[in-house]
Amino acid sequence: MRTLYFDCFAGASGNMILGALLALGVDKEELQRQIWLLNIPDFDLVVSQVDRSGISATHVEVKVPQEHVHRYLRDIETIIDASNLQDLVKARAKKIFRRLAEAEAKIHGIDVQKVHFHEVGAMDAIVDVVGACVGLELLGIERFVCSKIHVGSGFAKMAHGTFPVPPPAVAELLTGFPIYSTEVEGELITPTGAAIIAELCDSYTALPEIKVERISYGAGTREYKDFPNVLRLMLGESAAEKASNSNVLTDRLILLETNIDDISPQILGFVMERAFDLGALDCWFTSIQMKKNRPATVVSILCQPSDKDKLADLLYRETSTLGVRIREIERECLPREFVRVETKYGPVDVKIARRGVDIVNAMPEFDQVKKLALEHKVSFVTVRDAVWAELNKEKTSAADGRPN
Q: State pLDDT tens for residues 7-28.
A: 999 999 999 999 999 999 999 9
Nearest to 100 by CA among 197, 209, 204: 197
Q: What is the DSSP string of 178-205?
A: -EE--S-BEE-B-HHHHHHHHHH-SEE-
Strands (E) located in 225-334 = 230-238, 249-260, 282-289, 295-303, 325-333
Q: State pLDDT tens for residues 256-309.
A: 999 999 889 999 999 999 999 999 999 999 999 988 888 999 999 999 888 899
**Class for domain 336-400, per CATH?**
alpha beta
| 3-state DSSP assignment of residue 358 | strand
| Residue-range domain boundaries for the chain | 2-238, 249-333, 336-400
CA dist., res. 209 & res. 203, Å (int) = 13
Q: State pLDDT tens for residues 40-79.
A: 878 889 999 999 999 999 999 998 877 767 788 999 999 9
CATH superfamily of 249-333: Transcriptional regulatory protein pf0864 domain like (3.30.70.1380)
